Amino acid sequence: MGNLEVIAAILGVINVALVVRRSIWNFPVAMVTVSLYAVIFFNARLYSNAMLQIFFFVLNIYGWWYWARCKAEMGEIRVEVMDLWKRLVTPVGIAIMVLLWGWLMSTQTDADFAWWDATIAMMSVAAQILLSRRYIENWILWIAVDVLAVGLYWVKELPTTSALYVALLALSIWGQEEWLRALRGKRLKATA
Kindly state whether residue 33 falls inside one of the protein's structural domains.
yes
pLDDT at 161 (0 to 100):
86
Measured N-to-C along each axis, helices 26-43 and 2-20 cross at an angle, to the nearest 10 degrees, of: 150
Please give the pLDDT value at position 188.
57
The reported pLDDT for the residue numbered 74 is: 65
What is the model's pLDDT at position 122? 95
In DSSP terms, 166 is beta-bridged to none
Among candidate residues 113, 121, 122, the one with its CA nearest the CA of residue 95 = 122
Cβ burial, residue 183 (10 Å; 0-12/13-18/19+): middle
Please state at what angle helix 84-108 crosses helix 114-132, rounded to 10 degrees: 150
Domain around 67 = 2-77+89-191
Read off the pTM.
Answer: 0.81
In a domain, 82, yes or no: no
pLDDT at residue number 189? 61
Mean pLDDT of successive 10-residue stretches along the chain, which has 192 residues? 86 91 92 95 88 91 88 75 96 97 94 93 94 93 97 92 92 94 73 50
Could you give the number of structural domains in the chain? 1
Are the C-beta atoms of residues 120 and 49 closer than 8 Å to each other?
A: yes
> Cα–chain-centroid distance for residue 170?
14
Q: Is residue 84 part of a domain?
A: no
25 is a domain residue: yes
Among 5, 52, 17, smallest CA distance to 167 is for 17
Q: What is the pLDDT, as a whole number, of residue 139? A: 96
Residue 43 domain flag:
yes
In this prediction, residue 185 carries a pLDDT of: 82
